[in-house]
């Protein structure tokens, strides 16, 4: 069997089937009653079709009805099939065909002895004479090409068709069936469905990896069985049974054991037709209509194993993605639930297919100033479809109760009352699908697949964030359908999202500066910047006083660009002085002498001291500093546990947060939860009373329940004990401190898209930077000025010295050259370090412009001298050499 013949036959036979079904209304075919004559007519239609699409192969052909003549415009398969019918009724001229163009209509073993007659350029009349061997051929064609195609497909039916095709060595029935079923919404939606639900004999695989469901969830997924015997004959608008995914996967497995070339063209063409039908059907439906058929169709399509390769990837998948844009929110939510439940095993495969499609389009599409990546429909539609998968991934993971979303009940002052409203607004799911599903990204303790697998790096590198941010902020863009990836932040890497946040912060700074200038014109005092003048030896008190006055008089001043001045020191703050200010404030704040925070020895993280004597204003200052660092694009050397970032995003701490807060305590409590023996009380001897130490080491007892010291922890109430214990440690005991901290943080970032763009773990990256100190990346990205290049000997010596540094010295070098010892999101390659020549050999130490990441390096005469001067510079740099 020739694979190339099968490949062409797949697409041709699919289109011929469409032409044959429509020809029933044509008078030419209707009057042919004899089976042999009908088969001969069908053969002529096929030959017309080949002539219109492939031609006869004769370069000198003069037949106006043959594509080889050059007088016929190219046609789609559907157009060619319809035109072939017209040519048959007109008895148009047929060309002599090349033997390789003949379609195989019977077994390869058939002996066609009258080939000349079959290829003769004449149209037979009703009295056509056919040889005996050709009669067998035509009868075989009638049998397999004229057999009725089923209106739905089941696992067993597909097995039977494959067996029949293999036995008869012709795959026409399979090709016709796939074309008919997969091109029709109605036919496909009724295919591979589960057996009607029976309470006495549920259709559940014994060893299935499907999600465990209670009875109510099972009934929802199985669908309500219609007791009427004729329920299967209802219209497609009625509720239908869900897809039997295990059976569908077995069926696909059997299908794709065949050579893909046999049926690929037919299936791809059918899917393209299906996508067109969906695009026409979906906009006309009301939201109240039943969409079970659409859900079934998409479930079946996205289970196709080869959807991410070949013609499926280039043609079928883009068409399906474009059609999926029209899905109502309720249908998207239903699809997410199905993928999260019985379809969870397909999540990774679907995600990889969508990522491949997006990456392919990013690479091959020539974007320019009039056609941006946001205008490429395939990329945007695939991203929208990926959002459904994103929520399915959360639903399929480990979810916590929505009750842990934190809403403060603050009513002491008007300012705090407004703060509570802002907090409530920030944690309410804004996305319509999230609202329908009733979930928030903070509810997901552990997704089915890591969130990082949804990042698309080629897309993130290619997207122009200034354009994307303009689409994101433009009210006109919302109504004109402008697309912004910032509304789909799961697909962007944290480094790219940081650029979006940077644009938002800068625009707000410029807005405040513009307002200040307008005030100056009207005669009012003008201060376009947030200016802080502090003393090095009293930095905390000075900063506290100034920031507290600003926050009381005009909190919007906190949204101005920060400019810091150290008293008694010269220098203009272009960013470097501010970086040093933040570093010094952080060092002082976390100084054990202040006792504002305690150190967790196991994790080396810091946490609020529940017995701290410091006033709330100082915790508010810490929150403001954290917010200002984000707002001014500065990385801080802080080491909070992840629970703090979850709380900042509006989620209470819970038992699972103890794992990185205090792993020893977490494991002890987990052992308690897992202990199932009857001697539980004797083993643990625990009551609902706990103890902890204050700053002086005094032990303080606390009852988790009223008279908790009298209530033993038992098998029945151990979960309550663990939840109350975690709630006390992470929430109640530090409520006063955290509330003040959160207030300061929100005063800076309350209008920022921070919470919309970033998850808690990404907020930590944003504040603390990456932990990957890859100086190889820094060397590759470094630029040179003043006569230096990467081939200059001193530059070679410099990198040789630096690569030999300890991690601590590398941190000091970063601090010296950039003003921060932290690695930005995306790695050291994003620092854009510049090494500039600062004169010939001398005894001077290297200096740096930290505002611009420029290292000024004299051309030292030897590697030893270079190392000596560099080590001295980085170890004695505070307040010196940093401009």
| Whether residue 851 lies in the annotated active site | yes
C-alpha Rg value of the chain to the nearest Å? 36
Q: Of 578, 631, 583, 640, whose CA–CA distance to 607 is shortest?
A: 640
From CA 666, how far away is CA 830, in angstroms rounded? 38
Q: Which helix (H) or strand (E) holds 562?
A: strand 562-566
From CA 11, how far away is CA 270, in angstroms rounded? 10
Q: Which of 66, 165, 321, 851 is catalytic?
A: 851
Torsion 112-114-118-124 (CA) sign: negative
Phi and psi of 845, rounded to 5°? -85, 155
Q: Where are the beta strands (DSSP E) in 803-875?
A: 834-837, 847-849, 854-857
Helix orientation angle between 155-168 and 245-255, rounded to the nearest 10 degrees: 10
From CA 834, how far away is CA 826, in angstroms rounded? 18
> Residue 562's beta-bridge partner residues?
530
From CA 369, how far away is CA 375, in angstroms rounded? 11
Total Cβ atoms within 10 A of residue 807: 8
From CA 83, how far away is CA 97, in angstroms rounded? 18
> Residue 599's beta-bridge partner residues?
606
Report yes or no: 569 and 576 within 8 Å, Cβ to Cβ.
Answer: no
> Residue 651's beta-bridge partner residues?
405
Total Cβ atoms within 10 A of residue 678: 7
Overall residue count recorded for the chain in this entry: 883
Tokens 């990404």 locate to: 762
DSSP 104: P
> Residue 784's beta-bridge partner residues?
835
Tokens representing 460?
């993130």
**Residue 34: which residues within 8 A CB-CB, separation 6 or more?**
none
Report yes or no: 139 and 156 within 8 Å, Cβ to Cβ.
Answer: no
Tokens representing 795?
């530059």
From CA 155, how far away is CA 264, in angstroms rounded? 19
Q: Which helix (H) or strand (E) holds 347?
A: helix 347-364
**Residue 473: which residues within 8 A CB-CB, separation 6 or more?**
504, 507
Straight-line distance from the first to the last Cα atom of the chain, in angstroms, rounded to the nearest whole number = 77
Tokens 């109350």 locate to: 724
**Three-state secondary structure call for residue 874:** helix
Tokens representing 404?
């842990």
Tokens 């991410």 locate to: 308
Report yes or no: 202 and 222 within 8 Å, Cβ to Cβ.
Answer: yes
From CA 763, how far away is CA 754, in angstroms rounded? 8
List active site positions. Answer: 851
């Amino acid at each position: 069997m020739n694979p190339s013949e099968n490949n062409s036959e797949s697409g041709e036979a699919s289109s011929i089937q469409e032409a044959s079904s429509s020809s029933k209304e044509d008078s030419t075919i209707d009057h042919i009653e004899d089976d042999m004559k009908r088969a001969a007519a069908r053969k002529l239609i096929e030959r017309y079709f080949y002539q219109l699409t492939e031609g006869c192969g004769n370069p000198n052909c003069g037949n106006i009805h043959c594509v080889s003549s050059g007088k016929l415009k190219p046609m789609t398969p559907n157009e060619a099939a319809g035109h072939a019918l017209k040519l048959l009724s007109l008895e148009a001229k047929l060309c002599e065909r090349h033997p390789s163009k003949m379609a195989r209509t019977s077994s390869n073993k058939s002996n066609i002895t009258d080939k000349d007659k079959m290829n003769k350029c004449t149209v037979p009349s009703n009295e056509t004479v056919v040889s005996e061997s050709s009669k067998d051929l035509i009868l075989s064609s009638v049998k397999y090409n004229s057999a009725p195609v089923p209106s739905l497909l089941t696992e067993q039916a597909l097995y039977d068709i494959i067996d029949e095709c293999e036995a008869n060595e012709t795959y026409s029935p399979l090709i016709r069936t796939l074309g008919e079923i997969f091109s029709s919404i109605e036919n496909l939606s009724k295919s591979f469905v589960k057996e009607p639900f029976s309470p006495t004999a549920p259709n559940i695989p014994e060893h299935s990896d499907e999600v465990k469901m209670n009875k109510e969830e099972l009934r929802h997924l199985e669908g309500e069985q219609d007791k009427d015997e004729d329920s299967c004959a209802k219209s497609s608008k009625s509720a239908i049974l869900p897809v039997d995914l295990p059976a569908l996967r077995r069926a696909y497995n059997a299908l794709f054991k065949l050579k893909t070339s046999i049926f690929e063209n037919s299936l791809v063409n059918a899917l393209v037709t299906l996508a067109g039908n969906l695009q026409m059907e979906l906009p006309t439906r009301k939201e109240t209509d039943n969409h079970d058929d659409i859900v079934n169709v998409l479930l079946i399509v996205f289970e196709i194993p080869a959807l991410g390769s070949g013609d499926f990837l280039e043609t079928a998948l883009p068409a399906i993605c474009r059609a999926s844009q029209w899905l109502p929110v309720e249908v998207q939510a239903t699809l997410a639930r199905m993928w999260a439940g019985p379809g969870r095993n397909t999540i990774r495969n679907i995600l990889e297919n969508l990522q491949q499609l997006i990456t392919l389009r990013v690479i091959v599409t020539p974007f320019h100033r009039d056609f941006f990546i946001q205008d490429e429909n395939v990329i945007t539609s695939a991203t929208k479809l990926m959002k459904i998968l994103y929520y399915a991934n959360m639903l399929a993971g480990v979810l916590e109760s929505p009750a842990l979303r934190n809403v403060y009940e603050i009513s002491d002052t008007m300012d705090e009352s407004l703060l509570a409203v802002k907090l409530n607004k920030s944690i309410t799911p804004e996305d319509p699908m999230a609202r329908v599903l009733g979930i928030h990204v903070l509810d997901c303790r552990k997704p089915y697949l890591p969130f990082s697998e949804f990042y698309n790096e080629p897309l993130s590198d290619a997207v122009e964030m200034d354009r994307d941010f303009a689409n994101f902020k433009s009210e006109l863009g919302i109504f004109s359908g402008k697309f912004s990836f910032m509304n789909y932040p799961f697909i962007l890497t944290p480094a790219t999202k940081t650029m979006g946040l940077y644009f938002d912060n800068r625009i707000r700074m410029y807005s405040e500066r513009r307002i200040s200038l307008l005030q100056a014109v009207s005669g009012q005092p003008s201060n376009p910047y947030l200016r802080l003048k502090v003393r090095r030896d009293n930095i905390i008190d000075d900063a506290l006083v100034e920031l507290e006055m600003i926050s009381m008089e005009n909190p919007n001043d906190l949204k101005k660009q920060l400019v810091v001045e150290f008293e008694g020191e010269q220098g203009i703050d272009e960013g470097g002085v501010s970086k040093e200010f933040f570093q010094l404030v952080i060092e002082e704040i976390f100084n054990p002498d202040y006792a504002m925070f305690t150190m967790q020895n196991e994790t080396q993280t810091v946490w609020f001291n529940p017995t701290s004597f410091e006033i709330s204003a100082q915790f508010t200052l810490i929150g403001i500093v954290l917010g200002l660092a984000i707002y001014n694009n500065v990385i801080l050397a802080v080491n909070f546990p992840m629970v703090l970032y979850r709380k900042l995003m509006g989620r209470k701490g819970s038992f699972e947060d103890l794992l990185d807060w205090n792993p020893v305590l977490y494991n002890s409590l987990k052992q308690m939860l897992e202990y199932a023996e009857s001697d539980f009380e004797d083993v643990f001897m625990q009551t609902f009373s706990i103890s902890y130490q204050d700053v002086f080491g005094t032990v303080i007892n606390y009852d988790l329940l009223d008279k908790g010291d009298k209530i033993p922890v038992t098998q029945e109430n151990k979960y309550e004990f663990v939840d109350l214990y975690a709630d006390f440690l992470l929430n109640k005991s530090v409520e006063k401190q955290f509330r003040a901290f959160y207030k300061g943080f929100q005063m800076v970032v309350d209008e920022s898209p921070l919470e919309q763009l970033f998850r808690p773990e990404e907020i930590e990256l944003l504040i603390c930077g990456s932990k990957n100190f890859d100086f190889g990346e820094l060397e590759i990205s470094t630029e040179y000025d003043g006569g230096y290049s990467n081939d200059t000997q001193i530059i070679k010596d410099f990198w040789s010295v630096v690569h030999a540094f300890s991690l601590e010295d590398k941190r000091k070098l970063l601090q010296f050259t950039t003003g921060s010892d932290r690695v930005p999101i995306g790695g050291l390659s994003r620092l854009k370090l510049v090494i500039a020549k600062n004169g010939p050999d001398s005894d001077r130490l290297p200096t740096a412009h930290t505002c611009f990441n420029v290292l000024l390096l004299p051309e030292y005469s030897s590697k030893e001298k270079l190392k000596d001067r560099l080590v001295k510079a980085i170890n004695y740099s505070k307040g010196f050499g940093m401009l």
